[in-house]
């Protein structure tokens, strides 16, 4: 980061790599009491902390620190936001992927979510090519340098759909000749790399002094494992029986939907409409799009969840304009955690449906009643190519 800023401002900086033996000497500790890197030695004194050094090296530039007092403050705003803990939440994902520090699966997911949230924040605040003003500033260089590993290993091609402006911004910064001369040519990953996962460490239980205490502790552990959907108030709707009825109904769009209307419990269940948000060339080649669709379904194959869900995912249209539409019925009236935790859920446009709305009722009938065994079947006015149950 510091070297890029120096190059942009035409300042020569000589880099030295200090070995452990030198760092242990009294002479070195005298000039670098914190023993942290990087350290900038100047004729007037030494400076540590990379963000501070970058701003020092940007001094004298007409643009790198902003072109006005407000822009200067905005540069500080973004750099402070970055070092105040925002990106640190993403460290476990990077450390896990590089194998330096194995992570638990839950920790990895939270870390990836933090990185994506960070990029969405940038995306929402980008109104031009750069974070501040109309020219590149220290804010751009600092954040691009810090997030480069995330773009190389975590933020895949699919994520570009969720934060297209942020991804384009990073590509713009990473293409600067001064940036390339320090970091090399950075290619954003097409697929997120897998981390080194460590087994979840279960907390050690203290031996209970009495059998009654042991039983109470055991009951407490069982309660923790209860799916929140199982803990919802009982519903009068026999969901399992309805799924069996509907799947085997000869007239799903007619009699099947009538049975749904008569039995549905709006207090205990909700319908959701999904439309896959394509990116780039997605949807142009049948077999590739089929693989994507089946991959989405496989990641939804979770233990103890199928009994709480019922739905159908359909591929409609024709090459090179295929689409994925779906309708799901989930236990509860809010989106279940299993859905929001799905790694591809963010690429789905999702909205809650109203069974009493004629348009939504027809969408449910069209999608749930789709039959790919019938070559003449259409869905939402387009040719049905593939239909997959989730039941």
- The pLDDT tens digits of the residues spanning 307-320 come to 999 999 999 999 99
Residues 6+ apart with CB under 8 A from 348: 274, 275, 276, 277, 326
CA 88 – CA 98 distance, rounded (Å): 16
- The pLDDT tens digits of the residues spanning 3-31 come to 999 999 999 988 888 888 888 888 888 88
Residue 2, burial from CB neighbour count under 10 angstroms (0-12, 13-18, 19+): buried
CB 120 within 8 A of CB 166: yes
- The pLDDT tens digits of the residues spanning 176-225 come to 999 999 999 999 988 888 888 887 766 665 555 555 555 555 555 545 55
CB 312 within 8 A of CB 368: yes
pTM: 0.59
CA 56 – CA 329 distance, rounded (Å): 57
Q: What is the pLDDT of residue 217?
A: 53
Residue ranges, the chain, pLDDT below 70: 201-225
Matching residue, tokens 């890197």: 37
Task: For 261-323, give the secondary structure using H, E and C.
Answer: HHHCCCCCEEEEEEEECCCCCCCCCHHHHHHHHHHHHHCCCCCCCHHHEEEEEEEEEECCEEE
Smallest CA-to-CA distance from 236 within 266, 256, 265, 269 is with: 265
How many other C-beta atoms are found inside a 10 Å radius of the C-beta of residue 325? 23
Domains and their CATH numbers in the chain: 2-183 (1.20.1050.10), 239-390 (3.30.70.1010)
CA 15 – CA 32 distance, rounded (Å): 16
Residues in the chain: 391
Matching residue, tokens 């910064």: 173
């Amino acid at each position: 980061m510091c070297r890029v800023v120096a190059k942009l401002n035409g300042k020569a900086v000589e880099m030295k790599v200090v070995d452990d033996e030198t760092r242990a000497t009294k002479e070195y500790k005298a000039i670098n009491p914190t023993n942290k890197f990087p350290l900038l030695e100047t004729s007037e004194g030494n400076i540590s902390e990379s963000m501070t050094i970058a701003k020092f090296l940007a001094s004298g530039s007409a643009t790198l620190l902003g072109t006005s007092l407000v822009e200067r403050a905005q540069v500080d705003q973004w750099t402070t936001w970055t070092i105040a803990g925002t990106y640190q939440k993403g460290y476990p994902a990077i450390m896990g992927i590089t194998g330096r520090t194995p992570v638990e699966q839950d920790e990895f997911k939270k870390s990836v979510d933090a990185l994506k949230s960070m990029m969405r924040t940038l995306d929402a605040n980008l109104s031009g090519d750069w974070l501040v003003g109309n020219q590149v500033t220290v804010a751009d260089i600092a954040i691009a340098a810090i997030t480069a590993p995330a773009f190389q290993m975590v933020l895949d091609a699919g994520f570009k759909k969720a934060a297209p402006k942020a991804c384009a911004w990073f590509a713009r910064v990473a293409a600067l000749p001064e940036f390339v001369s320090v970091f090399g040519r950075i290619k954003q990953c097409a697929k997120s790399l897998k981390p080194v996962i460590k087994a979840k460490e279960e907390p050690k239980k203290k031996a209970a002094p009495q059998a009654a205490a042991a039983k109470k502790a055991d009951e407490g552990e069982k309660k923790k494992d209860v799916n929140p959907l199982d803990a919802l108030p009982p519903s009068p709707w026999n969901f399992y029986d309805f799924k069996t009825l509907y799947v085997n109904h000869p007239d799903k769009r007619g009699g099947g939907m009538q049975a749904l209307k008569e039995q549905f419990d709006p207090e205990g269940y909700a319908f959701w409409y999904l439309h896959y948000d394509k990116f780039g060339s997605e949807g142009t080649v049948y077999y590739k799009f089929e693989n994507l669709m089946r991959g989405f379904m496989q990641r939804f194959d979770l233990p103890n969840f199928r009994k709480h869900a019922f739905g159908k995912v359909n591929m409609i249209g024709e090459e090179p304009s295929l689409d994925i539409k779906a309708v799901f019925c989930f236990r509860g009236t809010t989106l279940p955690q299993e859905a929001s935790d799905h790694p591809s859920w963010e690429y789905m446009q999702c909205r809650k449906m109203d069974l009493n709305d004629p348009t939504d009722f027809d969408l449910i009938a069209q999608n749930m009643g789709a039959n790919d065994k019938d070559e003449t079947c259409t869905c939402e006015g387009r040719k049905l190519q593939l239909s997959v149950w989730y039941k």
